[in-house]
Amino acid sequence: MELAWLGLLFPLLGALLNGLLGRSVLSKRAVSGIGPGAVGLAFGVAVWVWLDLLKRPPEERSVTLKLFDWIAVGGLDAPVSLLIDPLSVVMMLVVTGVGFLIHVYSVGYMGHDPDYPRYFAWLNLFTFSMLLLVMADNFLLLFVGWELVGLCSYLLIGFWFTRPSAAAAAKKAFITTRVGDFGFMVGLLLIFATFGTFSYGPIFEQAPQVLSPGLATAITLLLFAGAVGKSAQIPLHVWLPDAMEGPTPVSALIHAATMVTAGVYLVARAHVLYELAPVSMAVVAAVGVVTAFFAATIALVNPDIKRVLAYSTISQLGYMFLAAGVGAYAAGLFHLTSHAFMKALLFLAAGSVMHALGGEETDMRRMGGLNRHLPTTWKVFLIGALAMSGVPPLVGFFSKELILEEAFVLGHAGFWLLGLITAGLTAFYMLRAHFLTFHGAPRYDAKSVHPHESPPVMLWPLRALAALTVVGGALWLSIVDFAPFERFLEPVFRAEPAMEARPALALGKGALIALSLGAAAAGIGLAWLLYIKGWRPAAGLRRLGRPLYALLDNKYYVDELYYALFVAPGRALAELLSGPVDRGLLDGLVNGVGRLVDRVGGALRRVESGYIRAYLDWVLVGTLIVLVLLYVYAWGWSWGWGGGGR
């Protein structure tokens, strides 16, 4: 347990080795060994820490490890210290486990890239940063990891930096999330001003006595602003679809499985504070479910396979926030884990498709009929799509069902209904993507493109993730109340509310499950009708749907709206300040004063023409006069006739 910091050290060393020596010293083999190897070792550490934790009685499963003093000045003491508890261990296992598979896959996917060592250096740096985020034992250190994963996201979205779209997407991601981080930072200021510390332990202990409802609401909403940015929730979701400019394994690791879930982790970690602020809880749940719905509607029509997955990620993160917002933190964490399996699987499978089509093809309108060429990819993508759709017994069924059920049981019927509709939409867009990609007639240029299945180094991680997707439900078989996952997390979320105080329900558990299955079936069936059977809706219906389609196809014009609301006026203001105000008004005033002086004292004209020595002489003379006066004065003072009163 005391060596848990090794989990941080290995990826950091990997990043340093590949980053500093990868281009010059190390062979490609060495780079391929170090990158995945470092994360594999970190996974080993995570498993070991987990087993160690299991050996302890539940109430002792929280260990703080102080590494060194970081910022210690005045009343501020923010050490670099780690907190090992069930929540951080779950996150460590997900980050390093799924991360390891994605690193292995990258060996094949990125193998031909000339900047291969740089890729692994940054991917390892990301793993380090994400582990720091989840292992930190205080809010400031969490923020350090939070910003560092943002940096790695920036670097990896812009990995192919010579593409203007990638460079722009990287910048957009960093700046958009920083808008949320502004809220986070102000939240940190409030936390410190209130508690005088950043450490979780004392804060959560004192919170019920110290926090007024208003203060609790303010702090939690500000923290949530950071979560909204990082986890791409409305209104800061705009960066994530563009982030698909990065290499596909990066999308799988950072923009699906791990980094974007940091917001969910933050709310779960700070749940003690959130429970003191019912308003914030409601906001979290509402933002989550609304985002889930809106992102799903955009995914319905998008033609780009990676962007469909990106909007799907935004939508699923919304489910996780819904869970956290209604107080079902463990269910949120379970969906986080389940989503990490499913979405990493789907992204990597999409990468395999792109690889098969010769690189960077993501437009599903130029795919189709790939099932014959890519049998394994086809199979695993189908597993992922069905799991996302909520088909039992795949993991996605259990985790999503759990959230909907909790929302309903805890009295949020409206949220539940929106979530249920979203589940239907999810099933539709996932199967639509699957059918467009793998079924029907080929629409790629068969003359120049010869699809081929990916090499084993890419297929084995896919198989592993597919296996996790199939059996992962066993972690929490919600329908039969077999819940090792929940029980493991129990020491953290001890105060889970209202489980005993269940109101009389309008619908029984069986009915809820039936409705969920019905929604999934409807979505899948409609996709099948449209994309396999080739059913075309009546012309009148299509005409009616056209404006709606345009709205969805343009993502509700949010990018355009933000440009008009923030970017354009901001730039205009900056131009106004830079030109008329700064160079015109302020500088003009100064030069005006100069000119006035110049006109009054003609002698100074020479200064303007550059005879600075003459001017220096005057300065010297002036200074001397002052000194002489002083001298006389002081001399006089010492004789008693000075004016300097004591």
124-143 positions binding another protein, by CB under 8 A = 140, 143
Q: Which is nearer to another protein, 50 or 615 (CB)?
A: 615
For residue 641, state whether it binds another protein (rule: CB under 8 A): no
Q: How far is the CB of 141 from another protein (least distance, A)?
A: 9
Q: Which amino acid is at 575?
A: E
What is the distance between the alpha carbons of residues 40 and 15, in angstroms, rounded to a whole number?
14
**Which residues in 127-137 are b (16+ Cβ under 10 Å) and which e?**
bbbbbbbbbbb
Q: Which residues pair with 363 in a beta bridge?
A: 304
Q: Which long-range contacts (CB under 8 A, 24 or more apart) does 251-254 make?
A: 251/306, 251/309, 251/310, 251/347, 252/102, 252/105, 252/343, 252/344, 252/347, 252/348, 252/351, 253/98, 253/99, 253/102, 253/123, 253/126, 253/344, 254/126, 254/149, 254/152, 254/153, 254/156
Residue 609 Cα to chain centre, angstroms? 59
For residue 625, state whether it binds another protein (rule: CB under 8 A): no
Q: How far is the CB of 354 from another protein (least distance, A)?
A: 22
Considering only residues 574 to 603 of the shown chain, the ones binding another protein according to CB under 8 A are: 574-575, 577-578, 582, 586-587, 589-591, 594
Q: Which is nearer to another protein, 178 or 373 (CB)?
A: 178
What is the distance between the alpha carbons of residues 44 and 37, in angstroms, rounded to a whole number?
10
For residue 245, state whether it binds another protein (rule: CB under 8 A): no
What is the distance between the alpha carbons of residues 152 and 129, in angstroms, rounded to a whole number?
8
Considering only residues 71 to 110 of the shown chain, the ones binding another protein according to CB under 8 A are: 71-76
For residue 612, state whether it binds another protein (rule: CB under 8 A): yes
Among 9, 13, 26, 168, binds another protein (CB under 8 A): 168
Instruction: Provide the strand spans (E) within 545-646.
Output: none
Give the side-chain half-sphere CA count within 13 A for 204: 17
Mapped onto helix, strand or coil, the DSSP state of residue 554 is: coil
Among 48, 50, 70, 204, binds another protein (CB under 8 A): 70
Residue with tokens 């969490």: 142
CA distances from 137 to 221, 329, 343 (A): 21, 19, 28
Q: How far is the CB of 266 from another protein (least distance, A)?
A: 16
The site map against another protein for 11-50 (x = CB under 8 A) is --------x---x---------------------------
Span from 29-37, 479-487, 527-535, 615-623 in contact with another protein (CB under 8 A): 615-623
Residue 76 phi/psi, 5° resolution? -95, 125
Q: Which is nearer to another protein, 560 or 608 (CB)?
A: 608
The site map against another protein for 445-484 (x = CB under 8 A) is ----------------------------------------
Residue 413 is encoded by which pair of tokens? 């019927």
Q: Which is nearer to another protein, 74 or 534 (CB)?
A: 74
Span from 100-108, 374-382, 536-544, 616-624 in contact with another protein (CB under 8 A): 616-624
Q: How far is the CB of 556 from another protein (least distance, A)?
A: 24
Element (H, E) at 584: none
For residue 614, state whether it binds another protein (rule: CB under 8 A): no
Span from 62-70, 369-377, 490-498, 515-523 in contact with another protein (CB under 8 A): 62-70
Span from 101-109, 171-179, 257-265, 339-347 in contact with another protein (CB under 8 A): 171-179
Among 68, 448, 503, 539, binds another protein (CB under 8 A): 68
Element (H, E) at 276: none
Considering only residues 174 to 213 of the shown chain, the ones binding another protein according to CB under 8 A are: 174-175, 178-179, 181-182, 185-186, 188-190, 192-193, 196
